[in-house]
Structure 1
């Protein structure tokens, strides 16, 4: 219960500020490359919560191909579940199940074929105002014709993922089906001595929709606030987050060497 008092009158207005219910958040990814499958499980923070950690331990996490047998993850750290030495094949639906406190949260994602990076170009940006000068990355891909394709571009600089809060590099071939597409990277800039790795992910529509709505909600951390405008999730039973099965291609470059060549 909160009270608001105004100097212009004596009446006290009382407002009920109900504590919000914590909601489970699941972030699950599997790839066709030889990398561990990872599922992160946590809970949103109540408005007046005092807990400094929202990690969910003790969940039963599994993945299976549609109509197949499940393989179970091991909890490597609180709220972090990993499945090692397992390879996902393209052109299949995969289903992730997370069982916690008697409820099973499920999502499925289609793993598309890997689309290779055709080329990379760099363009110098002069910078102005709050924006720094430096090189921007363009990634080119030969889009397969007759298939709805969705892409996400991630960039690593000197081994660390580049993150721009509220901005995600997403692309659809809706207007460019079957053509050579130039995917323009947005706001980050890079310097001559930077070592860059460009990762081009081939994602499904559900993943594209999730990150597209997430980007529109002004801030990556929206899922931790249980906002009424949470992004579209492909998990059922009211869980937030997403499950993405994707393939990817990577290409490393050193900006200085690439410019000189």
Structure 2
């Protein structure tokens, strides 16, 4: 089936990106800098959330003060807050890292995907647009992932169907984020990028799901980020918008 072939081909582009950074070690190290900064920020935020989860749960549930089982209830709320924080970290790590490292990853993407002519603008001019596009992408992602989060508590379905759907949704939007650099360099606006990825959904899903699964492991996300950026550039160059 073509869809299966395109999906596995999308997965393959991540490994092509991995091979590219393995052959260009200095660019891998260069791409690690913003990923490490973002990782440090997330670790600090999650540690603060974890150490203050009980107090935050108490603050958020004043209506439970008179309940005999308030400690159990607030313990559940505290755990939910921590798990929610972890989920948000996984979903937003790519967007935040790309925003922090825009000038870094712009150069890395350019090296992996050289163009004779491109819509070349200084990174400080494109940064506001990148932040806006990332927020729009995050909004659409949350439209899908928030309902899936609550469906996760439904017996059987929540442990079988929902994780698969969650990986597909998150994977697609990761591809949206990671291919932005290469597609913007081709002068494509957000709506055009979304349309292109929808038209190549299987390839976009294959690449994004592979990245999403790897990014579930925190430090692996840091190490693999330069490979994901390079792989996205190669996906655009060789599959989505081939160079003539």
Q: What TM-score results when the alignment is normalised by the length of structure 2?
A: 0.25
- Structure 1 or 2: larger strand share? 1
- Structure 1 or 2: larger helix share? 2
